[in-house]
Amino acid sequence: MLQYKTHSQKLNLIKNGKLSLTENVEYFRDSINKNADLNAFNFVFEEVVEESRKIEEKIHDGKYGKLAGMVIAVKDVLALKDKPLTCSSNILKKFKSIYTATAVQKLLDEDALIIGKTNCDEFAMGSSNENSARGVVKNPVNTEFVPGGSSGGSAAAVAAGLCDASLGTDTGGSIRQPASFCGIYGFKPTYGRVSRFGLTAFASSFDTIGPFARSVDDISLLLQVISGKDKYDSTSSDKEVPDFLSEYQNATKLKIGLPQEFFSDGLDPEIRDILYDYISKLKTDGFEIIDIHLPHHEYSIAAYYILTTAEASTNLARYDGVRYTTRSGKKDDLINMYTNTRSEGFGDEVKRRIMLGTYVLSAGYYDAYYAKAQKVRRLIQKDFFDAFEKVDVIITPTSPFTAFKLGEKTSDPLQMYLSDIYTTSANLAGIPGINVPVGSAGNGLPIGMQILANQFEELKLLRLSSYIESNYLKNEVV
Amino acid sequence: MNQKYEAVIGLEVHVQLLTKTKTFCGCRNKFGSPPNTNVCPVCMGHPGILPVLNKKVVEFAVLLGLATNCEINKRSIFARKNYFYPDLPKGWQTSQFELPICEHGFIDIVKSDGLEKRLGITRIHMEEDAGKLIHDQGTDSLIDLNRCGTPLLEIVSEPDMRSAEEAYLYLVKLKQIVTYLGICDGNMEEGSLRCDANVSIRLKGEKKLGTKTEVKNMNSFRNVEKAIEAEIDRQIDIIEDGGKIIQQTLLWDADSGDVKPMRSKEESHDYRYFPEPDLMPVLVNDDWRKSISESLPELPEHRKKRFIDKYKLPEYDAELLTAEKPVADFYEAVLNTTDDFKSASNWIMGDVLKIINERKIKIEDFPVSPENIGRLINLINEGLISSKIAKEVFPVLLDENKDPRTIVEEKSLLQISDDSFIEEVVGNILGNNMDQVKQYLDGKEKVIGFLVGQVMRETKGKANPAAVNKILKEKLEAFR
């Protein structure tokens, strides 16, 4: 059992000699082994035990980085030099990255310990972590249920206490939804806030990297470390990064918007009731609650799947068997080598999205699908910009339902896609969002609240989350 | 060409840019390195990589746009051109499609009949090159990704050309411009300038365009002309025989001198272009455009005009000297040492270019410095050597490249202007050639040439010809 809730508490324990970092790392390693049935990790790095001694020395010498001693897992779509990068796909089964992702390097630069790489849906495509060539991940709260996806391994690892925190990626909800299913905090930053360099692309104009943690404090700390302009990512923003860590506790009475479209049909009534409870508490505490509309919301899933599959279909073209991908053993001519390699290497969901994306970009269909979806994307973005003229943040459910059973939705891709109904619009609009674990349903499964803010207003999300955490969730440590 | 028909030709030209680094990563853009040494995760298309645009590529594109009278778009975007091929690691070529950086320009050419013609440029866009496949080493095909991601500009012309000659002249002019700008070395044989031609024919007076074909694989300027001629003839033959032109891609075969169809499978592409989400739009604001235009070097047409105006050169000289920038540069370097503009021109157009052609070298590698060419001209003009002696000094210079005055002194070639010495030689020559003296006195003054020759022979060419002439005449007249 861990003696701390936040990284600053952990650091103090180490400094005071009440916690041995090496023992802590060994504890995590053993926990991972004991919980092997969760299948949260694709790879565990034994050498962190050795590295922990060096970091511990640094801490005692008083010269250490912001994340010194924090044990972090990273999703297996993020590059770490000389380590496997499989994206939970057979096509990259034997691939090792030759460089390190900027976000991961920033963790290392602050003396974090990377304990391993976590399982996920293949190339981050999925909402349940059932599309992994390395097997399904189970929800630590109840192992008959999915952990959500695509960052299911990163969420499960934090929820099960197999590490202090983790990095995931969020293209349409892949951080927020599994955080909600597993009952932890998961943060999707503004598009451009965190460098994507070293993040294996699924949908380039949607992909973001963000942290999972068990406290707003750790979320703020991690966000602080990984944010900022990167010369290797032209789409990263040079907007100044606020001092999240010292400023998030300055609670201000924010104006909260409730979009009616997110509380209507299809939402589990249990989730709706719990969210309304919190909203009335906030109202009582002096927060202004305003009903708002996001009129183009109903088109978000359609636009999302057209645009993301279009980008994915070309992003995944490089896995062709020519260079580093696992090539089909069948000897044949070039075209058949491509066909065999990709038929054998990709899973069904990835193939489905490549075909869909290839179709919507094809001559004669581009205008009807891709170009139209781009217009819808701008309208959805405008809905949010208009809403944020009136309110500071928007509260919605993170998911229309709590975690579902393993295998329950695998035969129906459309049902699976609807898991993302409340999360994709933030990626379409490029805005930040957080999942706050606000309680559990009658079946014991976690319920998540999503809070959204305008682009580059992450601080508002952290402030409200922190307010909820410190005022309403004190006794609900996961 | 059959006079009933006219050809309609448009060219797509790719030029390799002389930037230090590649288009989207920091790898060296260098030809001839060992295979796969100028590569990194970005140009090898590894998972997770992102492109970062080389600013120099934009500046070169804008330079070419300005030099070819294009409009420079303030905002242009990159697009992905998707296709599978082993030399293309990402599975797409990053190019520009909907909004290229330059549009609506033109180039003027002068044809062999002396008529000028303006040829339109539709667009110029930036893109990256692919790697290279090597098929001739063992049973496997090998891939060299050194060239992958190196920058290219594609220049698409309007279908304004009506003959192979016009296409040839357009291409030569374009090469002249890119080499003057210093953005490309323009070497078609090495592939740093590549050209595909779209060719169709129609009856003269017809407004509608005929079905076009695309001709590829031409690796010299003359081959472009020949391939287009061959394709025009092929199309006319088909139409004359009552056939129809099929839209297809043809490959020029320089050995057989004709064009052959490419396999149709290789050309059935749907490139699925869409805006590249990993790159921001390219914004060229007025300040940047202005600073690029200030770095625009003098272009060939202007330089030619300046040579005529400033150095009083005949148009022929100016045209020849400015055809290639290094030659014009060499000429002006010679003028740093001498003020004799025309002699400098004569020396370069004659002896210098002759050696360059014989030895197949670039003028940059010419063994004699422009300074020493200028000094040689000055020695003649100062009367220290004759033109004839200068022609003897020149081969020595080719071997030694030192101050020609030193060569002249070492080899005792200095001209003799000492009148008393020349008088003595003239006296002897006249004494030995009294028949010729008589003829002169009888009015056959042409014989003086023979006598001058005798004096020069006696002095091994070193006697100052003007002095010899003057003294000879004086002495001959004294016989009257």
**Burial bucket for residue A391 (CB in 10 Å: 0-12, 13-18, 19+):** buried
Q: In this structure, how many other beta carbons lie within 10 angstroms of the beta carbon of residue A413?
A: 16
Averaged over A249-269, what is the pLDDT? 90
pLDDT for B480 beyond 50: yes
Q: Which residues 116-155 of chain B have a CB within 8 Å of chain A?
A: 143
Interface test with B, best of A195, A238, A361 (most B CBs within 10 A): A361
Q: Convert the pLDDT of each residue in B311-325 to its tens digit.
A: 999 999 999 999 989
Averaged over A197-213, what is the pLDDT? 98
Domain of residue A62, residue span: 7-254
Confidence of residue A2 (pLDDT cuts 50, 70, 90): confident
Q: Convert the pLDDT of each residue in A404-447 to its tens digit.
A: 999 999 888 888 888 899 999 999 999 999 999 999 999 999 99
Confidence of residue A476 (pLDDT cuts 50, 70, 90): very low
Which pLDDT belongs to residue B119?
Answer: 97
Task: Answer yes or no: do B278 and A320 touch at CB < 8 A.
Answer: no
Q: In this structure, how many other beta carbons lie within 10 angstroms of the beta carbon of residue B358?
A: 8
**Is the residue at A293 inside a domain?**
no
Please indicate if any CB of chain A lies within 8 Å of the CB of B53.
yes
Q: Give the integer Cα–Cα distance in Å for B324 and B197.
A: 24
Averaged over A235-254, what is the pLDDT? 92
Identify the DSSP state of B280.
P
Averaged over B246-255, what is the pLDDT? 90
Q: How many residues does chain B have?
A: 480
Which pLDDT belongs to residue A253?
Answer: 87
pLDDT for B265 beyond 60: no
Which pLDDT belongs to residue B440?
Answer: 84
| A chain contacts of residue B49, beta-carbon cutoff 8 Å | 197-198
Which pLDDT belongs to residue A475?
Answer: 52
Q: Give the integer Cα–Cα distance in Å for B183 and B152.
A: 10
Q: Indicate if the alpha-carbon torsion angle A31, A36, A42, A45 is positive or negative.
A: positive
pLDDT for B455 beyond 90: no
Find out whether B231 and B213 touch, Cβ atoms under 8 Å.
yes
Confidence of residue B462 (pLDDT cuts 50, 70, 90): confident
* Strand segments (E) across A133-285: 165-170, 185-188, 208-213, 255-259
CA-based nearest residue in chain B for residue A206: B277
Query: Could you tell me the CATH number of the domain that includes residue A235?
Result: 3.90.1300.10
Q: Which of A127, A150, A151, A220 is catalytic?
A: A150
Q: Give the integer Cα–Cα distance in Å for B107 and A92.
A: 50
Confidence of residue B454 (pLDDT cuts 50, 70, 90): confident
Averaged over B250-254, what is the pLDDT? 91
Q: Convert the pLDDT of each residue in A336-364 to its tens digit.
A: 999 999 999 999 999 999 999 999 999 88
**Is the residue at A301 inside a domain?**
no
Nearest to B48 among A199, A205, A370 (CB): A199
Please indicate if any CB of chain A lies within 8 Å of the CB of B111.
no
A372 is catalytic: no
Which pLDDT belongs to residue B442?
Answer: 84
Cα A32 from chain centre: 20
pLDDT for B357 beyond 60: yes
Q: Convert the pLDDT of each residue in B90-134 to its tens digit.
A: 999 999 999 999 999 999 999 988 899 999 999 999 999 999 999
Which pLDDT belongs to residue B59?
Answer: 97
Interface test with A, best of B36, B43, B49, B92 (most A CBs within 10 A): B49
Q: Give the integer Cα–Cα distance in Å for B478 and B475.
A: 5
DSSP-derived secondary structure for B287-331: HHHHHHHHTPPPPHHHHHHHHHHHH---HHHHHHHHSSHHHHHHH
Task: Answer yes or no: do A97 and B48 touch at CB < 8 A.
Answer: yes
Measured in angstroms, the CA of B277 and the nearest CA of chain A are apart by 6
Is the peptide bond prior to A174 cis by the omega test (within 30 degrees of 0)?
no
A259 beta partners: A292
**Is the residue at A273 inside a domain?**
no
Interface test with A, best of B57, B272, B273 (most A CBs within 10 A): B272
Q: Give the integer Cα–Cα distance in Å for A256 and A81.
A: 43
Q: Which residues 58-87 of chain B have a CB within 8 Å of chain A?
A: 80, 82, 84, 86
- Angle (nearest 5°) at CA A243 between A241 and A245: 130
Nearest to B280 among A197, A235, A363 (CB): A235
Confidence of residue A157 (pLDDT cuts 50, 70, 90): very high
Task: Answer yes or no: do B46 and A97 touch at CB < 8 A.
Answer: yes
Task: Answer yes or no: do A97 and B45 touch at CB < 8 A.
Answer: no
Which amino acid does the sequence have at B271?
A: Y
Query: Number of folded domains in chain A?
Result: 1
Q: Convert the pLDDT of each residue in A280-304 to its tens digit.
A: 999 999 999 999 999 999 999 999 9
Q: At A176, phi and psi to the nearest 5?
A: -65, -40
Which pLDDT belongs to residue B469?
Answer: 84
Show the DSSP H helices in B182-260 as ranges.
221-240
Q: Convert the pLDDT of each residue in A87-143 to its tens digit.
A: 999 999 999 999 999 999 999 999 999 999 999 999 999 999 999 999 999 999 999
**Is the residue at A446 inside a domain?**
no
CA-based diameter of chain B, in Å? Answer: 102
pLDDT for B294 beyond 50: yes
| A chain contacts of residue B82, beta-carbon cutoff 8 Å | 313-314, 317, 361
Residues 6+ apart with CB under 8 A from A445: A139, A141, A142, A145, A181, A402, A403
Rg (chain B; Cα; Å): 30
CA-based nearest residue in chain B for residue A371: B274
Q: Which of A200, A203, A209, A205 is nearest to A235 (CA)?
A: A205
Q: Which residues 339-358 of chain B have a CB within 8 Å of chain A?
A: none
Q: In this structure, how many other beta carbons lie within 10 angstroms of the beta carbon of residue B290?
A: 9
**Burial bucket for residue B282 (CB in 10 Å: 0-12, 13-18, 19+):** buried
* Mean per-residue pLDDT over chain A, rounded: 95
Q: Convert the pLDDT of each residue in B379-398 to its tens digit.
A: 888 877 778 888 888 888 88
Which pLDDT belongs to residue B417?
Answer: 65
Which pLDDT belongs to residue A478?
Answer: 42
A174 is catalytic: yes
Confidence of residue B2 (pLDDT cuts 50, 70, 90): low
A8 is catalytic: no
Show the DSSP H helices in A62-137 as ranges.
102-109
**Is the residue at A276 inside a domain?**
no
Percent of chain B with pLDDT over 90: 59
**Is the residue at A315 inside a domain?**
no
How much is the ipTM here? 0.95
| A chain contacts of residue B97, beta-carbon cutoff 8 Å | none
Q: Convert the pLDDT of each residue in B31-83 to its tens digit.
A: 889 999 999 999 999 999 999 999 999 999 999 999 999 999 999 999 999 99
**Is the residue at A122 inside a domain?**
yes
Q: Indicate if the alpha-carbon torsion angle A154, A159, A164, A165 is positive or negative.
A: positive
For chain B, list the domains and their CATH numbers. Answer: 5-291 (no CATH), 300-410 (no CATH), 419-478 (1.10.10.410)
Cβ–Cβ pairs < 8 A, chains A and B = 99
Q: Convert the pLDDT of each residue in B396-430 to its tens digit.
A: 888 888 888 888 777 776 767 667 777 888 888 88
Averaged over B187-199, what is the pLDDT? 92
Task: Answer yes or no: do A314 and B91 touch at CB < 8 A.
Answer: yes
Please indicate if any CB of chain A lies within 8 Å of the CB of B326.
no
Which amino acid does the sequence have at A245?
A: L
